[in-house]
Amino acid sequence: MARPKSRRRRSTADLSRRQLRHRMTSALTRGAFQKAQELAQTLYKREPTPETHQYVVEATLKRAVQLRRAGDGEKAIPGLKHLAAEGIDDPKWTLPCIRELMLSGEWEAANSLSEQFPNDNLRAELLTWQVDAVLLQGADSLGYLPDTLQADARAVLHALSELEHGRDTAAEAAVAGLGADSP
């Protein structure tokens, strides 16, 4: 009985641009973001266009989210910082990059990238994300908030601590003074 031929994967060097693009979009679709990132970078090296750069940005961001959610966000930081330093042309990707940088504690890179947005509505949204990231990271990150928000953030952190210890009434009291318009 004859053995079936083994399916040998061609290396990315052997693939045409079209094949690379197809494999990369397929990897993005199925959630294989590490592979998508590798393929997107290879494609961008061969064809450095704005379109292929967007593939690198998308794959890098999706990989960063995947790593953070798996508790390994430290591995995503170099890629995110590279994107921030290089610049991202599309707000569709810039805002998520800023958010991931904030959630990973890379405040300097996040703030530098957020300076691209003079629009007050976007700045308000960024401030909300900043508050969320600080609250997730705890009291050590309070210094990354504007002075005007630090007391409110301390109150929320105190309330979360009270909730953690089963003291619902104390938690409610801790945040009772916060305005409805507080980020």
Q: Give me the average pLDDT of each 10-residue run along the chain (183 residues).
A: 54 74 92 93 90 90 91 86 80 84 84 76 79 83 82 85 88 83 70
Q: What's residue 25's pLDDT?
A: 92
Q: What confidence score (pLDDT) does residue 174 get?
A: 85
Output the pLDDT for position 32. Answer: 93
Give 177's contacts (C-beta < 8 A, 6+ positions apart): 155
Whole-number Å distance between alpha carbons of 136 and 126: 15
State the pTM of this model: 0.71
Residue 63 confidence (pLDDT): 93
pLDDT of 4 reads 57
Query: What 8-state DSSP symbol labels residue 76?
Result: G
Asked if residues 153 and 145 have their Cβ atoms less than 8 Å apart, the reply is yes
